[in-house]
Amino acid sequence: DAGITQSPRHKVTETGTPVTLRCHQTENHRYMYWYRQDPGHGLRLIHYSYGVKDTDKGEVSDGYSVSRSKTEDFLLTLESATSSQTSVYFCAISPTGRASYEQYFGPGTRLTVT
């Protein structure tokens, strides 16, 4: 058990509203990631963080922002949600902090934008 929780687990929101998803870890790992999973696309990296206040963009970062003010929390914000952001969002941590090592995933958040 990697000690990763995500909240909320399910959310329905309307187009144009802001949404924040939270990832919380209990193991004090330095590296954290946000992915989205869509049918036919597998998982795609949105943003990642390599420490408090240190973040960078992934493959599909447009329309998303992130923040990490504490080691244990990594927040993903959709400033103005669109229907194309309907997806399942997964947070992940890497115990050693590099992609050479496995990543462990949280339970996911299912977001529906109507």
Partner 1 sequence: AQKVTQAQTEISVVEKEDVTLDCVYETRDTTYYLFWYKQPPSGELVFLIRRNSFDEQNEISGRYSWNFQKSTSSFNFTITASQVVDSAVYFCALSYSGGGADGLTFGKGTHLIIQP
Q: Which of 45, 67, 73, 77 binds partner 1 (CB under 8 A)?
A: 45
Near partner 1 by CB under 8 A, which window of 11-19, 20-28, 67-75, 103-111?
Answer: 103-111
Are 99 and 112 within 8 A, CB to CB?
no
Indicate which single residue of 1, 28, 40, 53 sits in contact with partner 1 (rule: CB under 8 A): 40
Phi, psi of 100 (to 5 degrees): -75, -15
Cα dist from 18 to 8, 9, 27, 74, 78, whole Å = 14, 17, 29, 17, 6
Phi first, then psi: give them for residue 47, nearest 5 degrees.
-145, 160
Find the part of the chain contacting partner 1 (CB under 8 A) among 11-19, 62-70, 71-79, 94-102: 94-102
Residues 3, 20, 24, 43: which binds partner 1 (CB under 8 A)? 43
| Residue 33: both structure tokens together | 């990631």
The total number of residues shown for the chain amounts to 114
Q: Which position among 41, 54, 82, 114 is part of the footprint of partner 1 (CB under 8 A)?
A: 41
Judged by CB under 8 A, which of 19, 85, 103, 113 binds partner 1? Answer: 103
Q: How far apart are CA 101 and CA 2, in angstroms?
A: 14
Kindly list the residues in this chain that would bind partner 1 in the complex (CB under 8 A). Answer: 31, 33, 35, 40-45, 48, 50, 56-59, 88, 90, 94, 97-105, 107-108
